[in-house]
Chain A
Amino acid sequence: MAERTGPQEGAGPLPQKRGKNKGKGTFKSLLPLLPFLAFIAYFLVFPLTFIVRDAFLSNDGHFTWLNFEECFKGVYGHSFYVSLRLSFISAMIGAVAGSLIASAIVKTGSRTRKAVAATSSVLANTGGVPLAFMFLAGFGAEGLVTKTLKALGWNIYGGSFTLFSETGIILVYCFFQIPLMVLIFSPALENVKPELREANDSLGGTRISYFSRIAVPLLFPAFLSTSLLLFANSFSAYATARAMTAGTLPLMPLLIGNLVDGNVLANQEHLGHAMAVSMIGVSIIVMGVYLLVLRFSKVRS
């Protein structure tokens, strides 16, 4: 069991040789993949094409751009902005804090690292009502942490802070964003071999040159790709947002849920579809940016 392919471990891209005789027997070589492709076509592609189609339909079934115009206006446009800002900030905090934690964890023994990985995978998957209640118990107005800090002289409710404001939601999101970063970024950190450090030192490099010339360029693609994953993660978070805000904060997933569940006017379903398609659009743009940056960083190195 020795032949593990090393470079595949990191989150970076892996150059791969392409078959030269493409086209010859293409269909035949695709046959064993048919069950998988059929499954994907029906359970993924089919629903997605439907939602894209519906986003362009008016209520009487004609083609229209109106749904998309609508979803960038007023409260819907505002929710777009709030969602983007919240996801960006929580992704940044999660990425920085997570990579700091990961860089401390990689120095510990393998048992600790395993336990941390397992714990992170649980924490990264918390969300919804359980997470909301834990934070209410901790950071709510009557929460234990709040009271303890108050006794120590810091009233976190002194300003405009509540758990249901944007800052509060970001705090709650950190509870699953940071572990996700630790979980995904640690393998990349483990790939930075100590030999690189030694080489840097023996060639007369300093601490600064090690970070600026070796560690940062080496880890940047993994850091970026994981940050974008965190962004997508909080951008599409629905369960936690629903449990936390109860409508106080306009977030896109919540508005879509309301539109479709018919809490608002019944004839706005297609607006919900248009917003859902816009969310996919944002994710695609994010991934596009990632690919561009990746190409750029590859050219430079």
Chain B
Amino acid sequence: MKKKLNVVNYIVLLGATAFFVFPLIAATEFSLRAKNATTHNFDNYIWVFKQDGFKTTLGTSFRLAILTAVAVLILMVPTIVYLHLGGARWKRFIEFVCLVPLVVPVISFALGVQTAFPTFLQSTVYELSFLYVVISLPYTYRALDVGLSSIPLLTLVEASRASGASMRQTLMFVVVPTIRSAVNGAIFLAVALSLGEFTLAVLLHWDTFPTWIANISQGHILGAISLSVLALVGSWLLVLIVAIAPKSFGSNKTQEVAA
């Protein structure tokens, strides 16, 4: 549905592009400045990779992201499939529950976790994964729900069960591949959230990549700007590839909604 843009549209788009691109250009220019402030080079970027904790905290964040994504899938896929089959009467209720994390400010949630959780849970950094599952619920629920609404789920499940597959097999080998792009969307949301989350990590005193950036930025401003550019451009390229890449399965349009 391509339509003609009018003058106002062009002005709006131009203004928006300027607002979003200029800070990035400025930051890139700063990040390439050499120490003597007259020439440009990549020293600041090299500095970033040499810092203590770059690899370890990035590793921690990636492990958290993977654990979060796996936990989201194990928890949410069977639940939402059930809501689409036998448990439709609970759909409203579960939908509501999944929206609650939007209403609770993350800082309030962090305080609650701090006071409520027993020490054995608070002694491992992986507690964050479970909390990330909770705060990503509104988004992952919606992504998976839209995906499941777009397929003839009941027919698929009945066919699979009639052919002698167990419920677990049906989920893993029939349902999940069919809603591949919605699953990808949910995974992507969970991963993006866990890689960038700051509030919970810092208030529960864990060292993840975002808290490490915050710490390191206090010493070396140009280095910190390079890190900012890296983080933004890196995640942008990643998302663009996922969004525009040719789809491997079917022609679901759920990606658009999920992104």
Chain A residues with a Cβ under 8 A of chain B = 1, 3-5, 8-9, 16, 18-19, 22, 29-30, 32-33, 35-36, 39-40, 43-44, 46-51, 54, 97, 100-101, 103-109, 111, 113-115, 117-119, 121-123, 125-131, 133-139, 143-145, 174-175, 178-179, 183, 187, 194, 229, 232, 235-236, 238-239, 242-243, 253, 256-257, 260-261, 272-273, 276-277, 279-280, 283-284, 287
Contact = CB atoms under 8 A, between A and B. Distances in A.
A36 B75 contact: yes
A277 B108 contact: yes
A272 to B, nearest CB: 6
* Chain A interface, >50% SS class: helix
17 contacts: A16-B91, A18-B89, A35-B79, A36-B79, A36-B94, A44-B104, A46-B116, A107-B2, A107-B9, A115-B244, A117-B256, A127-B198, A137-B27, A236-B108, A238-B107, A253-B105, A276-B111
B42 interface: no
B4 A107 contact: yes
B87 A50 contact: no
A256 B214 contact: no
Given A4-B253, A130-B232, 14 more contacts: A3-B149, A5-B149, A16-B91, A35-B75, A117-B256, A118-B236, A127-B196, A129-B213, A130-B228, A134-B24, A138-B25, A138-B27, A273-B115, A279-B105
A137 B30 contact: yes
Given A33-B94, A261-B203, A48 B198 contact: no
B104 A280 contact: yes
Interface stretch (B13-21, B48-56, B58-66, B158-166): B13-21
Contacts of B231: 130
A101 B20 CA distance: 12
Interface string B86-106: 111111101001001111111
Contacts of B24: 134
B157 to A, nearest CB: 13
B227 interface: yes
Nearest to B107: A253
A276 B24 CA distance: 34
Contacts of A174: 19
Interface in B146-190: 146, 149-152
Given A43-B130, A130-B232, A239-B198, A118 B217 contact: no
Given A118-B244, A137-B29, A175 B104 contact: no
A1 B23 contact: no
A284 B103 contact: yes
Contacts of B23: 134-135, 137-139, 145, 175
B44 to A, nearest CB: 12
The 8 tightest CB contacts between A and B, nearest first, are A47-B112, A236-B105, A130-B228, A138-B23, A50-B116, A118-B243, A144-B26, A276-B108
A119 B236 contact: yes
B252 interface: yes
A283 B239 contact: no
A260 B114 contact: yes
Given A8-B146, A36-B75, A175 B20 contact: yes
Nearest to A18: B89
Contacts of A105: 13
Contacts of B242: 118
A116 to B, nearest CB: 10
B26 A122 contact: no
Contact of B107 (A138, A229, A236): A236
Contacts of A127: 196, 198
A139 B242 CA distance: 32
Given A16-B91, A107-B2, A129 B27 contact: no
Contact of B250 (A1, A97, A135): A1
A194 B1 contact: yes
